[in-house]
Amino acid sequence: MSAGAFRTATGGRIDRTHTLRFTFDGRPLQGCAGDTLASALLANGRHLVGRSFKYHRPRGIVTSGSEEPNALVTVVRDGGRTTPNLRATQVELYDGLTAISQNRWPSLTRDLGAINDKLSLMFPAGFYYKTFMGPRFLPENWAWTKVFEPAIRRAAGLGRAPTSADPDRYASRYAHCDVLVAGAGPAGLAAALAAAEAGARVIVADEQSEMGGSLLSASRGAINGVPTAQCAADALAQLAGHARVRLLPRTTVFGYFAQNMAGLAERISDHDPSPDPEGPRERLWQVRARHVVIATGAIERPLVFSNNDRPGIMLAGAALTYLNRYGVTPGQRAVIAGSHDGIYAAALDLAGVGVEVAAVLDTRADPQSAAMAAALDAGLPIRTGTCIVGSRGHLRVSEIMIGAPMADGSIRDAGRIPCDCLLMSGGWTPSVHLFSQSRGKLRFDAAAGVFLPGVSAQSETSAGACGGASGLAAVIESGAAAGRTAAQACGFGLGRARAYRVEGILEATEATGHVNAPRLPQGMAKAFVDFQNDVTSRDLELAAREGFRSIEHIKRYTTTGMATDQGKTSNMNALALVSGTLNTTVPDVGLTTFRQPYTPVTFGTLAGMARGDLFDPIRRTSIDGWAQGKGAAFEDVGTWKRAWYFPRAKEDMHAAVARECRTVRAAVGVFDASTLGKIEVVGPDAAEFLERMYVNAFKALKPGRCRYGILLNEAGFVIDDGVIARLAQDRFHVTTTTGGAASVLNMMEDYLQTEWPDLQVWLTSTTEQWAVIAVQGPRARDVIAPLVDGADVGGEALPHMSVCEAKVAGVPARLFRVSFTGELGFEINVPVGAGRSVWEAVAARVEDAGGCAYGTEAMHVLRAEKGYIIVGQETDGTVIPEDLGLGWAIGKSKADFVGRRSLVRPDMIRTDRKQLVGLLTRGRDVLLDDGAQVTSVAAPAKGTAALGHVTSSYHSSVLGKSIALALVRGGRGLMGQRLHVPMPKGAVEVEVVSPVFYDPKGEKLNG
């Protein structure tokens, strides 16, 4: 059982005795253990695996690695475990694997979207920018958003994302090492061995399931007398024996970041037929390496000719890999073509297993090489000075047309060759992606026609083919040298150099080979440069004709190199074509930036555990459990969960909030204010420091008294507020808004450390140390008095805006007499550990007094009834204290405070600034929208500036009407006047009133 008609009888690294069943588009097929999905499909004679992005052309497998542009498939395990856009060349086969092709309907062989191929004249380069303009009588962008974009989105594209949540787990690790080796081919293995033997801690990462790279694909040759594949196994065994070496197969070094930080994506379970449900699927490694050896090899380039994208046309190097590593032949009758010696090795190996070699076509006129000589000796039909001009076939190549380039630049027809596969090689492009990501400067090697690493920006070395080494001996040599250099850079001795003797290799003497810039016959033919984005040579020529000169612009105009493969196989061909069209050199056209990630990385890997409940920390107060027990609804305030309202049987939010508000005004309410930011400001200069920070005067504040503090930024705008209590001559208890706690402390530290380092002040965040229980309402004193021990809570001993220390319910407390409701109020601060028990004691008495617990929504309504502002609601970073009617808070005799200078700028002293006012609607139940604009007439002409906007709007059950706060231009001068608030259902007429709706004289504060 060889699992496939195109499987060789022997050879390769697959296990022919271990058959694996899988399906492709529902069709049952068989492969072998060790196969990739791509090699298994090819073994079954399947080249056609997908449809192209734009023209829906039939496409086959082109490569054998992560650079694959065509063979994108969806692998289905179950609902949430459906992964689209996987490269079949990297999907390891397992028993029961289910794969489906993408971007076709109704089926891969009969795809209606292929009509696009016939209509291709409609889709030239930049068609986005040229077409899809709607008739002028329709609104701007209508045609695009309503017609064209949805149609294009349906027709074009890649696989579909699953609709259910990803059920898998993703892990994340940090690691440090001396030497990180990216790529475990011959250069990487030699480097890792040299570095490890010098004593360095080494991490070796390779994107494939099996390490060894090109050593696993070679059919001949030996290193120190040992066959290449065995050499790889020996090197890996030695590395595994070093305690300081970590080998990470199936791990892509996808990003090279600052200061030798590398991002690695490890695929842990995708190859496993029944993965451990508790284990992670993938792991993100963030590795800080002292030195990085980049050994990422080179990528073979396709040839550019008409219809070069038919299934059955593949890279010669890929064919060698399928043959020698997977025991798969690409067809029965092959044409091998290119401008590089690799074609002879491929031809010899294929002929060796009985594949008919119809022709070996070398575009070079007179290639002198050992490889060619060997092919001639074997009697292979070689034609030099010959190029391919086209191909035929529908779902598979059936024939290729060849031509002979003439001296005058024309191409003479040289006949046709029937075949079922074409193996091509336009030379090899060094994989300089990671080097470029490290911000190293590339240089263009004109002789080889490729970009190579030039000036390093970080501590790294490029080894092997990606560094320009050519031929196995040179590749290994440069790897070993890089490993020694790396170890030395980390402070280790040079150690003994290993000797590598390479024999029997039949390979390119010239690693790269010039790009074969094609001359195409006129007509409709498509010669693809970027397979994945369907960009043809004509698109690039058109862009050049239309005046684009820089590759950065051409790339964006034509989308060449912008697909998920980032142009790994296409960029050099595109550069060669453009430079040829513009009659300039490749470096003059420039090179686009290589960006992370090298290959696509799942969001799961990047997110790791930071999802769902672990996405952001959730902060809960010590009283949270009590509120949950009472069935409170919660709202998010920053990262805090705050009790929003406490619905009773059958109450909706509106009813619950209305009841809570009425209860506070009529009797008493208890409120969890623990989330307020709290900063302890201590030291001999504490008062001086607060005077400089806040607008208020603090030096005159007596211990035991509180003041409402307003904090500005230097531009004069209100950024925070809160009650500040002086506990002692040198000690203040500062409160901030819930959301401002961290930023206010940061700002205070900034001024203290850098502007006034001479002040003796210490700042400590105490937000999480105090539970704060607000008791508000006419019966507040009755409720708390029996619980307080050691202090007089009477109105004379503890007047409004004062503080004392006492025991409350047996717990040492800071007891504030403050109010954010306009009622008689206390805020009990107790150590957070006692928060719940004190709350329960207080809440029980509140209940007995006919009161209730209230949430943040009632708190908002109650404060709005009093015209108390909330920073961030009544303010937006452009509001000064005077705008809010809070000018009284400013310490007028103070020489300086943060923001003071800005308050006398000409714009700040204008009388027509937006000012805080109240708005009443004529209909008592009409609720204005938060943020709605305020205008002078009901239907202002287009372009009229608004007078202001609604900042807060609530229904007040206590007042029996809706109320709103607003910032209105010159608002305090408009009292009693009628303005308008345009709303979706028409403008609402409003009357401008004082922002204090309830108890304007403030008598209730005194109980």
Q: Which two tokens stand for residue 34?
A: 């060790």
Segment near another protein (CB under 8 A); pick from 100-108, 189-197, 539-547, 753-761: 753-761
State the Cα–Cα distance between residues 949 and 935, nearest whole angstrom.
Answer: 9
State the minimum distance, in angstroms, from the CB of residue 441 to another protein.
Answer: 9
Segment near another protein (CB under 8 A); pick from 427-435, 549-557, 571-579, 901-909: 901-909
Residue with Cβ nearer another protein (544 or 745): 745
State the minimum distance, in angstroms, from the CB of residue 764 to another protein.
Answer: 11
Residue with Cβ nearer another protein (673 or 748): 748
Segment near another protein (CB under 8 A); pick from 127-135, 155-163, 251-259, 645-653: 251-259
Residue with Cβ nearer another protein (456 or 488): 456
Question: Does 759 engage in binding with another protein (CB under 8 A)?
Answer: no
State the minimum distance, in angstroms, from the CB of residue 439 to another protein.
Answer: 7
State the Cα–Cα distance between residues 254 and 597, nearest whole angstrom.
Answer: 5
Residue 393 CB neighbours (<10 A): 19
Instruction: Output the CA torsion 843→849→851→853 (10° steps).
Output: 0
Q: Decide: helix, strand or coil at residue 367.
A: coil
Q: How many CA atoms lie within 13 A of 303 on its CB side?
A: 35
Segment near another protein (CB under 8 A); pick from 23-31, 309-317, 350-358, 747-755: 747-755
Question: Does 754 engage in binding with another protein (CB under 8 A)?
Answer: yes
Exposure b/e, 46-74, CB count within 10 A at least 16 = b: bbbbbbbbbbbbbbbbbbbbbbbbbbbbb
Contact pick of 654, 905, 910, 922 for another protein (by CB under 8 A): 905
Q: Are 657 and 853 in contact (CB under 8 A)?
A: no
Which secondary-structure segment (H or E) carries 359? strand 356-362
State the minimum distance, in angstroms, from the CB of residue 750 to another protein.
Answer: 6
Q: What is the DSSP letter of 111?
A: B
State the minimum distance, in angstroms, from the CB of residue 753 to another protein.
Answer: 5
State the minimum distance, in angstroms, from the CB of residue 597 to another protein.
Answer: 15
Q: Name beta bridge partners: 634.
A: 643
State the minimum distance, in angstroms, from the CB of residue 261 to another protein.
Answer: 5
Beta-sheet pairing, 245-248 with 202-205: parallel
Contact pick of 895, 911, 942, 960 for another protein (by CB under 8 A): 895
Cα first-last separation, the chain: 94
Residue with Cβ nearer another protein (528 or 717): 717
Question: Does 893 engage in binding with another protein (CB under 8 A)?
Answer: no
Q: Name beta bridge partners: 29.
A: 22
Question: Does 749 engage in binding with another protein (CB under 8 A)?
Answer: yes
Q: Which of residues 451-490 bind another protein (CB under 8 A)?
A: 455, 457
Question: Does 606 engage in binding with another protein (CB under 8 A)?
Answer: no
Residue with Cβ nearer another protein (198 or 262): 262
Question: Does 261 engage in binding with another protein (CB under 8 A)?
Answer: yes
Question: Does 900 engage in binding with another protein (CB under 8 A)?
Answer: yes
Contact pick of 439, 519, 630, 662 for another protein (by CB under 8 A): 439
State the minimum distance, in angstroms, from the CB of residue 258 to another protein.
Answer: 5
State the minimum distance, in angstroms, from the CB of residue 481 to another protein.
Answer: 24
Segment near another protein (CB under 8 A); pick from 4-12, 572-580, 754-762, 783-791: 754-762
State the minimum distance, in angstroms, from the CB of residue 715 to another protein.
Answer: 6
Dihedrals phi, psi of 759, to nearest 5 degrees: -75, 140
Residue 455 amino acid letter: V
Segment near another protein (CB under 8 A); pick from 351-359, 414-422, 752-760, 881-889: 752-760
Question: Does 616 engage in binding with another protein (CB under 8 A)?
Answer: no
Question: Does 259 engage in binding with another protein (CB under 8 A)?
Answer: yes
Residue with Cβ nearer another protein (564 or 902): 902
State the minimum distance, in angstroms, from the CB of residue 454 to another protein.
Answer: 12
Q: How far is CA 849 from CA 163, 759, 783, in A?
A: 53, 48, 7
Q: Are 992 and 916 in contact (CB under 8 A)?
A: no
Closest CA to 819 of 792, 788, 798, 847: 798
Q: What is the DSSP letter of 882?
A: G
Q: How far is CA 36 from CA 31, 64, 87, 423, 459, in A?
A: 9, 9, 10, 20, 35
State the minimum distance, in angstroms, from the CB of residue 769 to another protein.
Answer: 17
Exposure b/e, 614-647, CB count within 10 A at least 16 = b: eeeeebbbbbbebbeeeebebeeebebbbbbbbb
Sheet with 788-789, side-by-side order of all strands: 788-789, 802-808, 811-817, 825-831, 770-776, 669-672, 852-853
Residue with Cβ nearer another protein (94 or 717): 717
State the minimum distance, in angstroms, from the CB of residue 714 to another protein.
Answer: 6
Closest CA to 463 of 254, 299, 262, 294: 294
Question: Does 617 engage in binding with another protein (CB under 8 A)?
Answer: no
Q: Which of residues 822-841 bind another protein (CB under 8 A)?
A: none
- Pattern of binders to another protein over 712-731, x per CB under 8 A? --xx----------------
State the minimum distance, in angstroms, from the CB of residue 589 to another protein.
Answer: 24
Closest CA to 308 of 59, 93, 653: 59
Segment near another protein (CB under 8 A); pick from 75-83, 208-216, 461-469, 744-752: 744-752
User: Which residues lie below 8 Å from residue 769, measured CB to CB, with a gap of 6+?
Assistant: 678, 831, 832
- Pattern of binders to another protein over 396-435, x per CB under 8 A? ----------------------------------------
Instruction: Output the CA torsion 392→393→398→403 (10° steps).
Output: 10
Contact pick of 230, 753, 994, 1006 for another protein (by CB under 8 A): 753
State the minimum distance, in angstroms, from the CB of residue 472 to another protein.
Answer: 34
Q: Decide: helix, strand or coil at residue 784.
A: helix
- Pattern of binders to another protein over 272-291, x per CB under 8 A? --------------x-x---
Instruction: Please state whether the peptide bond connecting residue 275 to the residue before it is cis, i.e. omega within 30 degrees of 0.
Output: no
State the minimum distance, in angstroms, from the CB of residue 812 to another protein.
Answer: 28
State the Cα–Cα distance between residues 405 and 420, nearest whole angstrom.
Answer: 25
Segment near another protein (CB under 8 A); pick from 118-126, 392-400, 666-674, 743-751: 743-751
Residue with Cβ nearer another protein (253 or 380): 253
Q: Which two tokens stand for residue 5?
A: 């008609």
State the Cα–Cα distance between residues 329 and 320, nearest whole angstrom.
Answer: 9
Segment near another protein (CB under 8 A); pick from 107-115, 238-246, 898-906, 918-926: 898-906
Contact pick of 119, 237, 258, 941 for another protein (by CB under 8 A): 258
Widest distance between CA atoms in the chain: 114
Segment near another protein (CB under 8 A); pick from 207-215, 253-261, 593-601, 647-655: 253-261
Contact pick of 154, 501, 699, 901 for another protein (by CB under 8 A): 901
Q: Is 237 buried (19+), middle (13-18) or exposed (0-12) by CB count in 10 A?
A: exposed
Segment near another protein (CB under 8 A); pick from 196-204, 505-513, 742-750, 813-821: 742-750
Interface contacts to another protein, rule CB under 8 A: 257-259, 261, 286, 288, 439, 455, 457, 714-715, 746, 749-750, 753-755, 757, 895-896, 900-902, 904-906
